[in-house]
Structure 1
Amino acid sequence: MNRVIVGIISEQTIPNYLFIKEMFQIGDKLLFISSQKFVERIEWIKQSLGYVNCSIESILFQDGEEERWKDMESKLLAQLSSECSYIINLTGGTKYMSLLVQNVFERYNSQFFYIPFPKNELLKLSDNDSIALNYRLTIKEYFSNYNVTFTEKELVKSEAYSDYFFNRFVDGTLNFKAIDLLRSYRNIKKKIAVYSLESCTPTEKKPQIEGLGDFLSNMNFLMKEAGYLNRSEIEYLTGGWFEEYLYYKIKKYVNPQDIKLGVLIKRTENTNQNDLDVVFISGNKLFVVECKTGILGEKMFNETVYKATAIKETVLGLSANTFIVSLATEDEKLKKTAKNMGIQYKCREDIENPQLFENFIMQIKKTARD
């Protein structure tokens, strides 16, 4: 008897993808049920699966038809067979559509499941006990299910050096003036000689950075090419070090199933791109950490929060968790603003204080586990 895995498609694609990856066996067929509104999401799931020799069919309801029981029933009955066994995921779709699917498929050899997403478990109808959902997503799979492509940065320095840089920041022994002046050079495409930055005729866009060589020597900062700073090194010195610091800490203490640094995401149907500092998946939930070595005022903070919220709502899906981590001192007003927008804000004390940092890590682990 042919096995057919059935999914009802709606806004969130991840539950359907996880169900298929958990249940699929070679030789199985796939059947997607959806309103016309979500037909593109079927394609997102199919491209994410990448199944080549698998029969995949769809039953699509036209606009308004998903509220007409008899019309939907007729469409389903016309495509079902008593020679197949059906494994149905009732998680997606409207409640009305889900009720219809259950009603129709009960007339056939069928098993019904539900994923209480974002929990990693399956509930089988008529059973009390849940079934562990063992499949674990990669970041590539997660983004692909939302039609998002991405690139990532390479690490510039080791974990030990990022720890060293953080400690120098905390004890106040960095040359903050040189770092601030370097920000004007973050978008360069070529390497820049350190001596040219120290002795150039200063302009508003290209300031002179006196003592840069001494600063780099004092920081034991080894350049890829002696005497020259490239773009990634300038980005590291002007804030990228904090991204790498948190990347290493999360990788070490959270042990996520996948983690990326400096992710540039793009929805394939448009040209808009968004930078995400640290991205990782734990417990099949996506986490995004935006890193700021300082928040300069309420206006800049609000812009950061609104950007993070917009990306979460339009690109990352309901299960995404976003943190803004700043090395500015604690500000309860800013924390409250972020919380009201569904974003978690962590300040300098949360990172510098060992107990508070452990609490931060435990919060991530609990969210991933719940």
Structure 2
Amino acid sequence: MKHIHVCLISEQTIPNILGIFYFKPEEVLFITTEQMLKREKTEAIVNTLKRLGLNIPFFEIVVREDSIYDCHRKIAQWMEKHEEDNFTVNLTCGTKIMSIATYEIFKDYGSKMIYIPIPKNEFFEVYPLKKLSEPQPLPLRLGVIEYLTAYSLRVINEAKLNRYKEESEKRKALTNWIVTNYNSIEGLLSEFYKVLQKSRNVSSFDLTIEFPISNELQRDFLKAVGFNISGRTISKRLSRSEIRYLTGGWLEEYVFNSLNSIKGRGIDDVVMNVEIENIQGNKNEFDVMFTKDNALYFVECKSLSPEDEITKSSLYKIGALQKEFGLRVQSFFVTTSPHIIKDGQIRQSVRARAEQFKTEIIKPDEIVNFETIIRKKLKIMEE
């Protein structure tokens, strides 16, 4: 006699992952459809569970999602070989027809059946019937890579993510200094962006430019980064990491460090510079992603980009990923660019685009308070 956990497959994969991880059955039965087979939803669930340390044998039944007769017939046929087993059933996903058929069959076996109200991390026992069914907490919290895996997205550069984290932590003091003194060094950073933006992916770059240092903070910054200064001439052999840092990576690292400082105290996981690929082979890179309570958030950062890149490339990238995931993906757009501001307010065209993609804009004068803003938006209490 085995414990088999039954799942109905649909676009949402997280509820099934939470249920399987909670019950830790000996085997799993996935009831799916042809459409979900093409989208590799079962594989996404199984691969996520493997990342979580669960390698559970599974069965798969393919039904017509609009035919209660087909659902009944195929489930009942499978059950003929498993009548002596014990079952728990997650009714959260699938179509209504699939849920009705599954409920009717497993009710006859006295099976425990649950429902997870998305997006809550808890379940209700809907059968056997009880007068009062108190919600039971689901303790699992997915990290970023587990979440992406659950939606059939592959992280291409997973091996590099820890190095990005280490580099960000080493530069944390300098990054905080840049944010605090940004107005005084903006001209210098703008010059770096103009000269280096097309060389962000080269392994190294010998930079020599003429720049009129106008204040001591600019000089302090150049010394901190390791530049040679001779009159108006500044020079340095830059690594790829340094090139990316000087062309906007400092802003990404500031956002990452702010979120990483509350990891485990409100934020479950955070990574930066994530390169992902979907099952169609389309690839994209995202600045910062983090998870909280099994919801995914991401932050797009732009420092000194032109206005058309702000309103088109960045916000459309946010929209593309939201379409990939669905409504639970929430986003923030952090920028130092003055192009988004008019008369002290966010430009209407930019605001409209952000609202279209359900994106919160962090204005240039708000960046220094990014952690406080995130805490307030996500209702994370100060310790």
| Band the TM-score falls in, shorter-chain normalisation | 0.7 to 0.9
Instruction: Please give the secondary structure, in 1, of the residue aligned with 2:328.
Output: coil
Q: CA offsets per residue over residues 48-78 of structure 1, 9 Å max, x none?
A: 22278633101111xxx32222222111111
Contact 1:7/1:90, CA 8 A, preserved across alignment: yes
The residue type equivalent to 2:288 in the other structure is V
The runs of at least 4 consecutive aligned structure 1 residues that moved more than 6 Å come to none
Q: Deviations over 1:86-112 (max 9, x none)?
A: 111111111121111111110113111
Give the counterpart of 2:136 among 113, 131, 137: 131
Matched, 1:301 2:311: yes
Give deviations 1:283-323, integer Å, cap 9, x for gaps. 11111000111463366413322221112212x34422111
Which residue of 57, 60, 65 corresponds with 1:58? Answer: 60
Query: Residue in 2 aligned with 1:204?
Result: none
CA deviation profile, 1:149-177 (whole Å, cap 9, x unmatched): 22236135432111011112144565144
- Structure 1 length-normalised TM: 0.84
Of 212, 236, 239 in structure 2, the residue corresponding to residue 230 of structure 1 is 239
Q: C-alpha separation between the residues in 2 aligned to 1:97 and 1:177? A: 57
Alignment-derived partner of residue 259 in structure 2: 250
In structure 1, the gaps of 5 or more residues are 199-208
Aligned-residue RMSD, C-alpha:
2.8
2:375 to 330, 355, 361: 361
Q: Secondary structure at the match of 2:195?
A: helix
CA distance in 1, matches of 2:201, 2:112: 58
Residue 24 (structure 2) aligns with = 24
The answer on 1:339 being equivalent to 2:355 is yes
CA contact (8 A) 1:15 1:115 kept: yes
- Farther off after superposition, 170-179 or 34-43: 170-179
User: Larger deviation: 1-10 or 215-224?
Assistant: 215-224
**TM-score, normalised via structure 2 length:** 0.81
* Corresponding position of 1:70: 69
- 145-154 vs 162-171, which deviates more? 145-154
SS in 2 for 1:122: strand
Contact 1:286 1:320 (C-alpha < 8 Å) held by counterparts: yes
Q: Which amino acid in structure 2 is aligned with residue 58 of structure 1?
A: E
1:178/1:210 contact within 8 Å kept: no
1:348 has 2:371 as partner: no
Question: 1:85–1:109: 8 Å Cα contact kept in structure 2?
Answer: no
**Alignment match, 1:206:** none
Equivalent positions of 1:81-230 (< 5 A) are 81-125=82-126, 126=129, 127-150=132-155, 151=157, 152=161, 154=164, 155-156=167-168, 157-172=170-185, 175-193=188-206, 197-198=207-208, 209-211=209-211, 218-222=221-225, 227-230=236-239
Whole-angstrom CA distance in 1 between matches of 2:123 and 2:86: 19
Between stretches 50-59 and 82-91, larger displacement belongs to 50-59
Q: Deviations over 1:248-267 (max 9, x none)?
A: 11122464221111111112
Q: How many residues align?
A: 345
Question: Match of 1:88, SS?
Answer: strand
SS of corresponding position for 1:219:
helix
- Shift of the alpha carbon at 1:239? 0.5
Deviations 1:5-60 (A, max 9, x none): 110000111111121111114xx110000111102211221222227863310111
Residue 38 (str. 1) matches residue 54 (str. 2)? no
Mark the CA change 1:97 to 1:222 in structure 2 (over 3 Å): closer, same or farther.
same
In structure 2, how many angstroms separate the alpha carbons of the residues matched to 1:230 and 1:335? 36
Secondary structure at 2:70 match in 1 = helix
* Distance in 2, Cα, partners of 1:53 & 1:166: 45
SS in 2 for 1:83: coil
Distance in 1, Cα, partners of 2:83 & 2:197:
69
- The change in CA–CA distance for 1:53 and 1:162 in structure 2 (over 3 A counts) is closer
Contact residue 258 and residue 371 of structure 2 kept, 8 A: no
The 8 Å contact of residues 10 and 32 in structure 2, kept in 1 or not, is answered as yes
